[in-house]
Amino acid sequence: MKNENAQNLPVAVLGAGPVGLAAAAHLIERGLTPLIFEAGAAIGANLATYRHVRLFSPWQYNIDKAARRLLLGQGWSEPAGEELPTAGELVDHYLAPLASIREVNSNLLLGYRVTAITRPGFDKVKTKGRESAPFLIRANTPDGSCQFLASAVIDATGTWSHQNPLGADGIPALGEQALSDRIDYGMPDVLGSARETYAGKKVMVVGAGHSAAGTLLALAQLTQEHPDTRIVWVTRGSQLARFFGGGEADALKARGQLGLRLKALRDSGGLEMRQNFRILELAETDGKIAVTAEPIDGPAPVIEGIDRIICAAGARPDLALTRELRVRHDPWLESTDALAPLIDPNEHSCGTVRPHGHRELAHPESGYYAVGAKSYGRAPNFLLATGYEQVRSVAAALVGDMAAADDVQLDLPETGVCNTRLAYEAAPEPTGSCCNVAPAAAAACCVPAPSPTGACGCSKPAESTCCA
Ligand SMILES: Cc1cc2nc3c(=O)[nH]c(=O)nc-3n(C[C@H](O)[C@H](O)[C@H](O)COP(=O)(O)OP(=O)(O)OC[C@H]3O[C@@H](n4cnc5c(N)ncnc54)[C@H](O)[C@@H]3O)c2cc1C
């Protein structure tokens, strides 16, 4: 491998989601070159899996400031600030135009899944000379396994690609992998592309967060057209009241109506609810799935006759990428360590996250930052606006502008909508502040080389590539 002067290398940005692309925009503004690795075939690959979901924060909070400046310079027409986009609209009307700007596009590697980050010639234990060595990024690419050098790494790979399993113990339930062809993780589009998969089936939804609620509401809608569809809602705990909304009195009319519909569905027997159901095992019986939970006061409870399962039990970061780096994570949240007290969902159910930047995001491995949803680890209360401020601060720190890097501020939404809705539902009128937290305090809504000529024959030119 060529001995590069690390300062002249690009900054690796891992993930072309909203925060990764915002990082790229800030780096470009700061005169640095981003080299963006995206595992998906297109940008915004995680958002694309829930295109149908309407976001709870309006456009004005979903657009990064540096990205906006770049886009406006290209004649982009900005969507109306108060409107709530769907995830698909965020990709189509914001991320895709951003990614097509020349300075971004020419450094964007689609279909490049990063598998490891290290320093060339240094395993994790070796210290002397470590900080002057560049980073080495290994990626699975359309042309095989390739390696790239970078001066710093901004890891914005999110968590959505690593969904939590059904098993109540945090590991897959027995039989979960064998039956994986009947399980969807996340938020499948049950009213759109996945309609046929779910219509008329007995569907188990697992989870107590807003993804589960959004999916249940969609299934409730599906039962209106396909009354033979059956829904079983399983949660580990027993706090369900908030999902039924305030009924007729709900300030958010659409949510209130859907809450009433869920209630009606439950009352008519179309929705079976099983609380304190901690899944241990899945088995196939007569072509259907039988799900067994931990016994509480008697024999292990079993739910039988399930056709499909939707697991909406949250997601976790991929910590394997940094196995050879000196990183420090919170032991249970798996967030960047210094961030944990600011975001702990045990304390911050509805968001009082303070603005934070490069200092809280730093790891013992100087030059490596996890940002965006990944920086929060398993905490589900990440907000785009927070991620945009993170990458502004990190980009400033990377060029040594410490005054700007330390001047962290957060401009927060006052949506009053801590909920996930579907594209099919009308967007409600914004009311009040986020979860009744005073706007100033509310930081999060509770939801949630050398040219590549080497042996691997990479096809995308990139200044710092060095193929294995
Ligand atoms: C249903 C839902 C609704 C939400 N609504 C809102 C909202 O209204 N407002 C709000 O502020 N926030 C919302 N969030 C939270 C958050 O803003 C989003 O999750 C957001 O997408 C996080 O952005 P990100 O860039 O950090 O990660 P992601 O969007 O997850 O992007 C990560 C990218 O990295 C890529 N990647 C992953 N692994 C690798 C790898 N090894 N190598 C290369 N690339 C990789 C992925 O393909 C993806 O493109 C919502 C989240 C969910 C799940």
Ligand 1: does its nearest atom lie under 6 Å from the Cβ of 163? no
Rounded Cα distance between 121 and 447, Å, is 42
Q: Cα of 379 to ligand 1 centre, how many Å?
A: 13
The single residue listed with the structure tokens 């409870």 is: 301
Mutate to test the pocket of ligand 1, among 157, 162, 425 (most ligand atoms within 8 A of CB): 157
* pLDDT reported for residue 257: 60
* pLDDT reported for residue 213: 84
The CATH code belonging to domain 180-311 is 3.50.50.60
Q: Residue whose CA is closest, atom 10 of ligand 1?
A: 383
Mutate to test the pocket of ligand 1, among 26, 35, 38 (most ligand atoms within 8 A of CB): 38
Tokens at 56, concatenated = 């709870």
* pLDDT reported for residue 381: 84
Q: Cα of 371 to ligand 1 centre, how many Å?
A: 11
Identify the segments of the chain with pLDDT beneath 50: 1-3, 251-252, 349-351, 414-422, 424, 426-468
Ligand 1: does its nearest atom lie under 6 Å from the Cβ of 215? no
* pLDDT reported for residue 346: 74
Mutate to test the pocket of ligand 1, among 13, 46, 153, 425 (most ligand atoms within 8 A of CB): 46
Cβ-based neighbours of 420, under 8 Å, separated by 6 or more: 53, 54, 56, 187, 210, 211, 213, 214, 447, 448
Alpha carbon distances (Å) from 359 to 60, 257, 401, 408: 26, 45, 13, 10
Ligand 1: does its nearest atom lie under 6 Å from the Cβ of 38? yes
Query: Please, what CATH class does the domain formed by 6-161+315-466 belong to?
Result: alpha beta
> Rounded to the nearest 10 degrees, what angle do helices 210-225 and 253-267 cross at?
70
* pLDDT reported for residue 349: 46
CB distance 352 to 342 below 8 Å: no
Q: Cα of 389 to ligand 1 centre, how many Å?
A: 15
* pLDDT reported for residue 404: 98
Rounded Cα distance between 236 and 301, Å, is 13
Position in ligand 1 atom list of the atom nearest CA 45: 49
Rounded Cα distance between 86 and 222, Å, is 20
* pLDDT reported for residue 430: 38
Ligand 1: does its nearest atom lie under 6 Å from the Cβ of 37? yes
Q: Cα of 20 to ligand 1 centre, how many Å?
A: 9
Burial class (CB in 10 A: 0-12, 13-18, 19+), 139: buried
Domain range summary for the chain, segments of one domain joined by +: 6-161+315-466, 180-311
Nearest one of 196, 267, 169, 215 to 52, comparing CA atoms: 215
Tokens at 34, concatenated = 């981003």
| The domains spanning 6-161+315-466 and 180-311 adopt the same CATH topology | yes
Q: Cα of 83 to ligand 1 centre, how many Å?
A: 20
Rounded Cα distance between 206 and 202, Å, is 13
Q: Encode pLDDT of 11-69 as tens digits.
A: 999 999 999 999 999 999 999 999 999 999 999 999 999 999 998 889 999 999 999 99
Q: Encode pLDDT of 119-169 as tens digits.
A: 999 999 999 999 999 999 999 999 999 999 999 999 999 999 999 999 999
